[in-house]
Structure 1
Amino acid sequence: MLIPFNYATPLADRFVTPERMREVRAMLDTPVKRGSVIEFPDRFADCPSVFRWKDRWIMTFIAISKDTSVSGYETHFAESDDLLHWRYRAPLLRRDESRVWDSKQIAGYAALYDPGIDRGSRLTAHAGRYWMTYLAGSSDGYEPDPLLMGIASAEDPTDPDSFIRCERPILTPQDADARFFETRTLYKSTVVRDENGITGYPFVMFYNAKGYDGRERIYTAVTDDPELKRWIRCGSRPVIDDATGDPDCIITGDPMLLCDRDGLWIMNFMKCTHSGGAFDTFACSYDLIHWTEWMGPPTAAPSPDDPNENLYAHKPWIVSWEGHIYHFYCACTRDNRRYIALATDF
């Protein structure tokens, strides 16, 4: 099912001013690079989700063997007392040959975190459980087409045995309502509550997808299903699309949302271009439909002179806590390192 964007919201005419965009960029500034916080000798680490749970910090992330031809994404977690120093704990979602559509790729992303500024992305429960959407697939390799979307939930988000995975995908590129540029693969998703009813639905998802042209754009879906299994695609076009009309842009993806005190939504996402590599940037919106993209300096970017991230600095997760900003991202190097890095404003 596909529904149109809700342009009738009273916020639809509220535009984000250039001054407000500059204020957001200043808030997100994290000039202090603290380097690697999660890294393995034999696996790539990617796509951090960082949240507060039971007075401690949890990071879920995905990992894949460096021999990607015989491997696939799995989901792991680490914990921290201070957001700076991390202890690896265990896998959460593992490859499982007894399953079919999600047997070999299961890359999980924390859902229903609190997006409010200074709230630490605290993980919140729904129906007594904690939720995680995941990229799913049945083939070995690094992101082999097609990839689908699943959802899992647990009473304890740090207990691997507590997670229950859905029996069928919640969204696929083969769905009858799949939009023009999402008919090959669905990638990372993020789910937040729409507590003010802007969209008319209690839950909103943003995710990046790939179509026939091999480039990625960010789309929206919504649901009022209490089991979070039946999602409705919202709008006939992407909400972030830098690829159409710009041959330099390859990817806009990996969205993660914050919400400021004046109701301004901040979508942090990665962008990959032929000319600038892969980096993090953001866009802002009051209605979750019309997004004003920041066109200035990235919030994270690779440096050719830095051997620790001379290829990519991308895939953001930003934690706002006690007046400080912690920007987690995936750093990549030309000598085949891929790890979770951190930059802060102090």
Structure 2
Amino acid sequence: MNIEPYLTPYKYGKPVLIGSGEKGSFDERCVDCPFVFQHNEKFYMMYVGFDGVGYQTGLATSENLLDWEPIGTILRRNEGSGWDDKNIAGTWIMKENHIDAPPVLKKWDNKYWLVYHAYPENGYEEGSAKIGLAWTEDENLLEWHRLSEPILTPEAGDWWEKGGLYKECLVEHGGTFYLYYNAKNTNEGRWIEQTGLATSKDLQKWERYSNNPVLRVSENRWDLGFVSDPCVLYDTDRYQWVMYFFGYDYKKAQEGIALSKDLLHWEKYPDPIIEIGKEGEIDSIFAHKPSVISHNGVLYHFYCSSRRHKEGDPTVNFGNEFRTITVAASEDIFS
């Protein structure tokens, strides 16, 4: 199993995006869940912010992939259809899939399509989340229209997803839409998160794959608790699909990788490809939630980084945590 072409061992070691820390701002406590893409010759990052009440979703832009400027909130509280008006996390906009090509957005039915999940209650991921879709014709990507009903619910799912649905990855291939998502088996006590798949021909009607979950936790290993947050890309040269994900053993969250020839059957590499940092480093608690793109022949691997809060940090999240977004690369471009 050759994963060498997909590795990003060189860490930036600093945040590229930090929550505002401003009272009443959607990202007062932290930023989370990066999704990086290219649009109209600019780089964009969609990301989730937490303000102590719930999630909302924002957008930032960059010229160089390291310096990011927030430009607005695109999925806001109190603007949904009841099920999604409190706590809403956008995680993926449909784009080109190739790992070695510009990650530009692509349209279907003359619209851009965004997938998100929403929790039914205020608080930090309170209740069982459902998955929804939003669309826009706005080339500035600031005004989104949400479908009134969710496309996937935990109630309609199998045993492994009854606790709620999480971060999504939407891929179009050969006229079929593939929606990867992670889900938890219960809301009570310590849960297990695994990654499943649903498919559709029209983005409206979805059918869960019969052999879910497609990515499963490993016994007594670094990913024994979670295999979550899929980021799926296609390698044209090697005729295979690559899934970046994170594993969690209830102590450390670290990045992993899996490969597939058909989008259905996945082989996990047995070890993490990005480990947590040393004590005090920006990712000393968590290094997780991947968004990987290629630019000028270099892979940029954005992820959510967490360490213990220090005096002077602009934000503090639950658990005395400083949660930011950082990046690693396939080449040593940060020296």
The reply on whether 1:308 has 2:294 as its aligned counterpart is no
Q: CA deviation at 1:180?
A: 1.5
| 1:112–1:248 distance in 2 versus 1, CA, 3 Å | closer
Q: Is the 8 A contact 2:120 2:127 kept in 1?
A: no
Q: What CA distance in whole angstroms lies between the structure 2 residues aligned with 1:132 and 1:202?
A: 16
The letter of the residue matching 2:89 is: A
- The aligned residue for residue 268 of structure 1 is 244
Amino acid aligned to 1:342: V
Secondary structure at the counterpart of residue 159 of structure 2: coil
* Contact 1:316 1:327 (8 Å CA) reproduced: yes
Question: One-letter code of the match for 1:322?
Answer: N
Give the aligned length: 309
Q: 1:164 to 1:208 in 2, by over 3 A?
A: same
**Partner Cα separation in structure 1 for residue 119 and residue 125 of structure 2:** 8
Contact 1:206 1:220 in 2 (8 A): yes
Code of the residue aligned with 1:29 in structure 2: it is T
**Deviation, structure 1 residue 141:** 0.9
Aligned residue in 2 for 1:12: none
TM-score by length of 1: 0.84
Q: How far off is 1:157 after superposition?
A: 5.8
CA distance in 2, matches of 1:264, 1:322: 21
Displacement after TM superposition at 1:43 (Å): 2.2
CA contact (8 A) 2:81 2:149 kept: no
Q: Deviations over 1:144-180 (max 9, x none)?
A: 121101100111264433x1101111100011xx112
**Of 323-332 and 336-345, the range deviating more from structure 2:** 336-345
Matched, 1:135 2:117: yes
**Any stretches of 5+ residues in structure 2 without a counterpart?**
22-27, 310-320
1:139-150 alignment runs, 5 A limit: 139-150=121-132
Distance of aligned partners of 1:168 and 1:292 in 2 relative to their CA distance in 1, 3 Å threshold: same
Q: 1:192 to 1:166 in 2, by over 3 A?
A: same
- Is the 2:47–2:90 contact (alpha carbons within 8 Å) kept by the matching residues of 1? yes
Distance 1:158 1:244, change over 3 A: farther
Matched, 1:338 2:323: yes
1:169 is matched by which residue type in structure 2? Answer: P
Matched residue, 1:181 = 160
Q: Paired residue for 1:88, among 70, 80, 84?
A: 70
Q: 1:306 to 1:115 in 2, by over 3 A?
A: farther
Distance between the aligned counterparts of 1:156 and 1:34, measured in 2?
Answer: 35
> Would you say the 8 A contact 1:30–1:325 is kept in 2?
no
Q: 1:60 maps to what in 2?
A: 46
Match of 1:115 in 2: 97
Contact 2:222-2:247 at 8 Å conserved across structures: no
- The 3 A distance-change label for structure 1 pair 289 and 154 is same
Tell me, yes or no, if structure 1 residue 217 matches structure 2 residue 194: yes
State the Cα RMSD in Å. 1.9
Instruction: Give 3-state SS (helix, strand or coil) of 2:155's partner.
Output: coil
C-alpha contact 1:78 1:90 (8 A) present in aligned 2: yes
